[in-house]
Amino acid sequence: MQSLAIEYLYHSSLRHSEKTAIYHDGKEITFGELWSQALLLADVLKTLFGSDSAPVAISIPKSIHAVKAISAVQLAGYVFVPVDTNVPPARREIMLKELGEHHLIEYAEGGFTVDGREIALKANGGPEETSGLEKSLMGSLAGRASGEPLYVMFTSGTTGVPKGVTVSNLSVINYIEWAADTYDVNHEEVIGNQSPLFFDHFIFDMYMTFARGCSLHIIPEKFYRFPGTLVDYLIENRVTLTFFVPSVYTHLVALNLLDCSKELSLKKLLFAGEPMPLKILKKLRELFPDALLTNLYGPTEATVDATYWIFGDELGGLEKVPIGQPCRNVKIIILDDNGRPIYEKDKTGEICIGGLGVSPGYWNNPELTKEKFIQNPEHSYYRDIFYRSGDLGYLSSGDGLLYLVGRKDHQFKHLGQRIEPGDVENALLKAEFVETCSVQYDAENSEIVAFFSASAPVASGELRRHLASALPNYMIPRRYVQLETFPLTANKKIDRKMLWASYVRGLNKTRETEKK
Amino acid sequence: MDNSEIKKQIKEFLLEEFPDQEAELTDEVDLLDNWFVDSVRIVEIILFMESRFGVYLNRADIQGSNFQNIDSIAELVQKHMSQE
């Protein structure tokens, strides 16, 4: 059995050397070329970093170069950390600081830079040089264990500091093997990518391609802003499998863009990242009667996905969309408010995830790791770590499947991205004129709403400008409501429920006046 | 409905949906930079065009160049209105 996830690329470079592995924006690269170019870059990295084992941040937009850099970092024996290239510099600094000692790879004007310096890659010296590098680099990896970290991925944190989730080679191999078996993926599959590099659907797209010799289309962001062009792309490139967030399918359905479903080669539609609306799911079944439709669920801390469900004949009778059952080597328990397991059906509690997908913890943050990764409360015989997801759910007595009902805290998903209101509130409070604030999510209208108080009237344009220097675009609220005072609970905390209720009442009132 | 009326209604919709933007909303201002930052907003304006003007956009219509500014959106609406 293999130990490291990068071995997938090695095997595909032997088996499918001449086959195109990745297409991106008019360019393409074969498995053989990708492998030999990753070896050359890995060789340079190893010379530069030596035995220094600091993680390597990769700040390159999704592209063939980004995949080369990710592969090279693994080949050289380091941990890779994908970083969002669109975040404001201030936020990027916070993330890199959280990593501690690290290196940074970027790509500009036709070449890689490492820690700010341009590096020269030797021209490919032919098969002999490739095999020499392969021998020496793979040789150095021979002693590495499967449980060692593969990547660190950042996700929004409650205090305004993003947290880095550490994920091991073993967890990724376990996930990919399960997914390849379950979804019957082979080298004929053409995967259409949506996810950016720093979101873990990319782990599925990339390693599945490496593992089964598929072809991966890294579809540029602009195709998602104008979904008409996306459908053309999927048709022209005969994409067979997509792993998108539900909002992408929702938009395609809302604009009737999938009515041409017969022109598409899509056979497998995977979705995860946020709840899939039942109405959209049923519409997808109508449009793709023979395709595989599957809903997946899992936080980054559980390695891409922890549960799944493939929809069959039962779909017509469903009243809600289940998240299904645990993936292979995953165990789910549901805990009550006192941290005790709930065994009764239909009773809601916090979803906790154990098994091979569980992350070893947050990078450089033992306190938070201790809080979120706990011993299985069912026993104390041996170490058996479960991740407390903060998601609320229950096991249904009707069909025996898991259903998600919401959050224990105030975290929300916007366009599939996980956002902590505290992260946005923290950024708002850094504006000197903001006194108090509360950030909430209007799921019905897919918009983030910021409530704030200030000493003088503030135009929302000013707040937006302030936030643009601190947060990535998708985290910036769309609506701003200035208040004189905030409703408070008995403990003098902001009463979020009351605040929201009065906001919704206000919205409804406006709508009624508009109708008149 | 004439071109200036179409533009007026699109403008009203945009001002309602995107209050207090930095740039002044003229017929030529580039909407792709500040206004249509994500796909949710594109879907909203398309659904608005369909319900307000009764036009149905097809796949080829839904691309960046048609949503560049108020002028190009109005042109698209008018093209469809004259066909339908």
Q: How confident is the model over A293-339, as pLDDT tens digits?
A: 999 999 999 999 999 999 999 999 999 999 999 999 999 999 999 99
Does residue B84 have a pLDDT over 70?
Answer: no
Does residue A41 have a pLDDT over 90?
Answer: yes
Q: What is the pLDDT of residues A90-126, one digit of tens each?
A: 999 999 999 999 999 999 888 999 999 999 887 777 8
Tokens of A383: 């170490």
Residues in chain A with CB shorter than 8 Å from the CB of B25 are none
Q: Nearest residue on chain B to A510, judged by CA atoms?
A: B16
- pLDDT at A145 (0 to 100): 95
A351 with A449, same domain: the answer is: no
Q: Tell me the C-alpha distance between A224 and A146, whole Å.
A: 36
In whole angstroms, how far apart are CA B70 and each of A86, A312, A386?
Answer: 27, 45, 53
Looking at CA atoms only, how far is residue A225 from chain B in angstroms?
4
Domain containing residue A39: 1-144
Encoded amino acid at A191, one letter: I
Q: Tell me the C-alpha distance between B66 and B45, whole Å.
A: 12
Alpha-carbon dihedral sign for residues A162, A166, A171, A176: positive
Question: Which of B24, B33, B39, B56 would you mutate first to test chain A, the one with the most A CBs within 10 A?
Answer: B39
A465 with A504, same domain: the answer is: yes
Q: What is the pLDDT of residues A398-418, one digit of tens each?
A: 999 999 999 999 999 998 899
> Does residue A175 contact residue A150 with C-beta atoms inside 8 Å?
no
Q: How would you class A209 by CB atoms within 10 Å of its CB: exposed for 0-12, middle for 13-18, buried for 19 or more?
A: buried
B62 has a chain A CB within 8 A of its CB: yes
Does residue B40 have a pLDDT over 90?
Answer: no
- Supply φ then ψ for residue A442, to 5 degrees: -95, 95
B36 has a chain A CB within 8 A of its CB: yes
- pLDDT at A110 (0 to 100): 83
Q: Which residue has the higher pLDDT, A213 or A225?
A: A213
Encoded amino acid at A161, one letter: V
Q: Tell how far CA A79 is from the center of its chain.
A: 18
In whole angstroms, how far apart are CA A435 and each of A456, A467, A486?
Answer: 10, 15, 11
Q: What is the pLDDT of residues A468-512, one digit of tens each?
A: 999 998 999 989 999 999 999 998 999 999 999 999 988 777 666
- pLDDT at A99 (0 to 100): 96
The reply to whether residue B39 touches residue A446, judged by beta carbons under 8 angstroms, is no
In whole angstroms, how far apart are CA A503 and each of A150, A264, A388, A441, A442?
Answer: 45, 43, 31, 11, 10
- Closest to A224 (Cβ–Cβ): which among B37, B39, B58? B39
- Closest to B64 (Cβ–Cβ): which among A222, A254, A415? A222
- Give residue B33's pLDDT band: very low, low, confident or very high (50, 70, 90): confident
A378 with A463, same domain: the answer is: no
A127 is a domain residue: yes
Q: Nearest residue on chain B to A472, judged by CA atoms?
A: B37
A90 with A131, same domain: the answer is: yes
DSSP string of A102-155, one letter each residue: -EEEEEETTEEEETTEE-PPPPP--HHHHHHHHHHHHHHHTT--TTSEEEEEEE
Q: For residue A28, which of A217, A220, A267 has the smallest C-alpha distance?
A: A217
Q: Nearest residue on chain A to B41, judged by CA atoms?
A: A225
Does residue B20 have a pLDDT over 70?
Answer: no
Report the length, in residues, of chain B.
84
* Structural domains counted in chain A: 3
- In the numeric block, the tokens 């990295």 are attached to A45
> Does residue A26 contact residue A236 with C-beta atoms inside 8 Å?
no
A401 with A453, same domain: the answer is: no
Residues in chain B with CB shorter than 8 Å from the CB of A228 are 57-63
> Does residue A260 contact residue A233 with C-beta atoms inside 8 Å?
no
Name every residue whose Cβ is closer than 8 Å to that of residue A29 and which is 6 or more positions away in sequence. Answer: A20, A21, A22, A37, A64
Name every residue whose Cβ is closer than 8 Å to that of residue B34 and which is 6 or more positions away in sequence. Answer: B21, B22, B23
Residues in chain B with CB shorter than 8 Å from the CB of A225 are 36, 38-39, 42, 64
Q: Nearest residue on chain A to B62, judged by CA atoms?
A: A228
Q: Tell me the C-alpha distance between B38 and A226, whole Å.
A: 9
> Does residue A51 contact residue A79 with C-beta atoms inside 8 Å?
no
Whichever domain contains A39, its CATH number is 3.40.50.980
Does residue B23 have a pLDDT over 80?
Answer: no
Please identify, among A381, A406, A431, the residue that sits at the C-terminal boundary of a domain: A406
What was the ipTM of the complex prediction? 0.89
Q: Tell me the C-alpha distance between A268 and A252, whole Å.
A: 16
- pLDDT at A512 (0 to 100): 60
Domain B3-83 in CATH 3.90.120.10? The answer is no
Average pLDDT over residues A202-210: 98
> What separation, in Å, do the N-terminal and C-terminal C-alpha atoms of chain A show?
69
Q: Tell me the C-alpha distance between A295 and A307, whole Å.
A: 8
B29 has a chain A CB within 8 A of its CB: no
Does residue A516 have a pLDDT over 50?
Answer: no
Q: For residue B57, which of B81, B39, B36, B40 has the smallest C-alpha distance?
A: B81
Q: What is the pLDDT of residues A119-131, one digit of tens each?
A: 988 777 788 888 9
The reply to whether residue B59 touches residue A460, judged by beta carbons under 8 angstroms, is no
The reply to whether residue B58 touches residue A222, judged by beta carbons under 8 angstroms, is no
Q: Tell me the C-alpha distance between A179 and A173, whole Å.
A: 10
- Closest to A227 (Cβ–Cβ): which among B19, B37, B39? B39
Q: How many helices (H) and strands (E) does chain A have?
A: 15, 27
Whichever domain contains A352, its CATH number is 2.30.38.10
A471 with A401, same domain: the answer is: no
- pLDDT at B39 (0 to 100): 81
Q: Nearest residue on chain B to A480, judged by CA atoms?
A: B19
Q: What is the pLDDT of residues A10-33, one digit of tens each?
A: 999 999 999 999 999 999 999 999
Looking at CA atoms only, how far is residue A447 from chain B in angstroms?
9
Q: Tell me the C-alpha distance between A233 and A224, whole Å.
A: 11
The reply to whether residue B37 touches residue A473, judged by beta carbons under 8 angstroms, is yes
The reply to whether residue A226 touches residue B62, judged by beta carbons under 8 angstroms, is yes
pLDDT > 70 in chain A, percent: 99
A435 with A376, same domain: the answer is: no
- pLDDT at A235 (0 to 100): 98
Q: For residue A105, which of A127, A124, A81, A129 has the smallest C-alpha distance?
A: A81
Q: How would you class A17 by CB atoms within 10 Å of its CB: exposed for 0-12, middle for 13-18, buried for 19 or more?
A: middle
A87 with A3, same domain: the answer is: yes
A447 with A401, same domain: the answer is: no
Average pLDDT over residues A181-197: 97
Q: Tell me the C-alpha distance between A101 and A98, whole Å.
A: 9
Q: Tell me the C-alpha distance between A307 and A304, whole Å.
A: 10
A189 is a domain residue: no
Residues in chain B with CB shorter than 8 Å from the CB of A226 are 39, 42, 62-64, 67
Computed over every residue of chain B, the mean pLDDT equals 87
B59 has a chain A CB within 8 A of its CB: yes
Residues in chain B with CB shorter than 8 Å from the CB of A222 are 64
Q: Nearest residue on chain A to B16, judged by CA atoms?
A: A479
Name every residue whose Cβ is closer than 8 Å to that of residue B36 and which is 6 or more positions away in sequence. Answer: A225, B42, B45, B67
A474 with A440, same domain: the answer is: yes
Average pLDDT over residues A262-284: 97
B47 has a chain A CB within 8 A of its CB: yes
A176 is a domain residue: no
How many A-B residue pairs are in contact by the CB < 8 A criterion? 66
The reply to whether residue B40 touches residue A232, judged by beta carbons under 8 angstroms, is no
Residues in chain B with CB shorter than 8 Å from the CB of A464 are 20, 22
A73 is a domain residue: yes
Residues in chain A with CB shorter than 8 Å from the CB of B45 are none
A72 is a domain residue: yes
Does residue A204 have a pLDDT over 80?
Answer: yes
- Give residue B22's pLDDT band: very low, low, confident or very high (50, 70, 90): low
A387 is a domain residue: yes
Q: What is the pLDDT of residues A345-365, one digit of tens each?
A: 999 999 999 999 999 999 999
Question: Which of A225, A261, A446 would you mutate first to test chain B, the one with the most B CBs within 10 A?
Answer: A225
- Closest to A228 (Cβ–Cβ): which among B19, B21, B62? B62
Q: For residue A471, which of A188, A91, A206, A196 has the smallest C-alpha distance?
A: A91
Residues in chain A with CB shorter than 8 Å from the CB of B43 are 227, 251, 254-255
Residues of A with CB under 8 A from a CB of B: 222, 224-229, 231-232, 247-248, 251, 254-257, 260, 415, 446-447, 459-461, 464-465, 473-474, 480
- pLDDT at A350 (0 to 100): 98
Q: What is the pLDDT of residues A439-477, one digit of tens each?
A: 999 998 889 999 999 989 998 888 988 999 999 989 999
The reply to whether residue B37 touches residue A480, judged by beta carbons under 8 angstroms, is no
A113 is a domain residue: yes
Please identify, among A378, A406, A434, the residue that sits at the C-terminal boundary of a domain: A406
> Does residue A245 contact residue A216 with C-beta atoms inside 8 Å?
no
- pLDDT at B1 (0 to 100): 79
A7 with A135, same domain: the answer is: yes
Whichever domain contains A486, its CATH number is 3.30.300.30
A444 with A398, same domain: the answer is: no
The reply to whether residue A229 touches residue B42, judged by beta carbons under 8 angstroms, is no
E-strand stretches of A363-515: 373-375, 385-395, 402-407, 412-414, 417-419, 434-442, 447-454, 479-482
The reply to whether residue B47 touches residue A254, judged by beta carbons under 8 angstroms, is yes
